């Protein structure tokens, strides 16, 4: 790998995207939100009304374009930021992300992006599958209560009417599904550093990771 990469994995609500975005900005790297690609695939499958439980339903990915601009995903030239956050997408994305052809296609696209760009990439299998040679791998965690509260605040800010209990239940279900699927499950890479963000300030975590990362990169260059 000639370009540099920082990989961030962990369950939903652990702080991955907030931390990854801030780090990418500080490092002047491209931020790649791989969850957005699985969500957009789910959105398209729902729009096409294909059978979500069949891995064969996703041939449309061959003719689907994914482009990241300023940290936001455009699928077939449409900005997916808001469309990706619907209840229907959130409830079906784990199933879609469990299909081998879907994973193989999206992983290949993610690796292609990282070939030509310095990236901070977040997801579930970045350190274990997508960027096994990343300069630094981070696995973020937080208690389920804290993660549910963060999601609740996010959705409330978007004007969504949903209870904290409901979010906690759905989060648990999605994490269980993501970490118990057979192919490329959510898992900490052996060489990843693990950080529990439950009672940490996000900026503290960003500073710590920035220092760690720049140390590694600078050592490699001199």
Cα separation, 29 vs 219, whole angstroms? 19
38 binds ligand DC, rule: CB under 6 A:
yes
151 binds ligand DC, rule: CB under 6 A:
no
Determine how many CB atoms are found less than 10 A away from the CB of residue 132. 14
CB nearer to ligand DC: give 4 or 124: 124
75 binds ligand DC, rule: CB under 6 A:
no
Structure token pair of residue 16: 């991955």
55 binds ligand DC, rule: CB under 6 A:
no
CB nearer to ligand DC: give 71 or 217: 71
**How far apart are CB 128 and ligand DC at their closest, in Å?**
10
Q: What residues between 84 and 113 interact with ligand DC by CB under 6 A?
A: 93-94, 97
Q: How many CA atoms lie within 13 A of 68 on its CB side?
A: 21
Among 6, 12, 19, 109, binds ligand DC (CB under 6 A): 12
Structure token pair of residue 114: 């990282």
Find the radius of gyration of the CA atoms of the chain. Answer: 17
**How far apart are CB 61 and ligand DC at their closest, in Å?**
15
39 binds ligand DC, rule: CB under 6 A:
yes
Q: What residues between 177 and 206 interact with ligand DC by CB under 6 A?
A: 178
**How far apart are CB 164 and ligand DC at their closest, in Å?**
18
User: Taking a C-beta distance cutoff of 8 angstroms, is the pair 39, 93 a contact?
Assistant: yes
168 binds ligand DC, rule: CB under 6 A:
no
Cα separation, 133 vs 61, whole angstroms? 26
Determine how many CB atoms are found less than 10 A away from the CB of residue 49. 8
User: Taking a C-beta distance cutoff of 8 angstroms, is the pair 174, 158 a contact?
Assistant: no
Distance, CA of 195 to chain centre: 16
34 binds ligand DC, rule: CB under 6 A:
yes
Cα separation, 99 vs 58, whole angstroms? 9
32 binds ligand DC, rule: CB under 6 A:
no
41 binds ligand DC, rule: CB under 6 A:
no
**How far apart are CB 200 and ligand DC at their closest, in Å?**
19
Name the percent of the chain in helix, strand, coil, to the closest 5. 55, 15, 30
CB nearer to ligand DC: give 94 or 197: 94
15 binds ligand DC, rule: CB under 6 A:
no
Interface positions with ligand DC (CB under 6 A) = 12, 34-35, 38-39, 93-94, 97, 123-125, 174, 178
């Amino acid at each position: 790998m000639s370009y540099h990469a920082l990989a961030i994995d962990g369950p939903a609500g652990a702080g991955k995207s907030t931390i990854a975005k801030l780090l990418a900005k500080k490092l002047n790297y491209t931020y790649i939100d791989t969850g957005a690609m699985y969500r957009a695939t789910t959105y398209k499958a729902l729009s096409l009304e294909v059978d979500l439980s069949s891995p064969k339903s996703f041939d449309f990915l061959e003719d689907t374009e994914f482009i990241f601009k300023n940290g936001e995903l455009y699928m077939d030239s449409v900005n997916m930021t808001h469309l990706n956050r619907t209840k229907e997408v959130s409830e079906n994305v784990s199933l879609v992300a469990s299909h081998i052809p879907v994973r193989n296609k999206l992983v290949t696209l993610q690796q292609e992006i990282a070939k030509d760009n310095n990236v901070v990439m977040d997801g579930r299998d970045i350190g274990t599958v997508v960027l096994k040679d990343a300069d630094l791998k981070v696995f973020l965690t937080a208690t389920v209560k804290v993660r549910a509260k963060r999601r609740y605040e996010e959705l409330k800010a978007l004007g969504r009417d949903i209870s904290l209990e409901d979010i906690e239940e759905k989060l648990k279900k999605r994490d269980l599904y993501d970490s118990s699927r057979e192919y490329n499950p959510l898992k900490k890479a052996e060489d990843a550093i693990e950080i529990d963000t439950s009672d940490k300030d996000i900026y503290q975590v960003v500073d710590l990771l920035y220092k760690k990362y720049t140390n590694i990169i600078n050592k490699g260059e001199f």
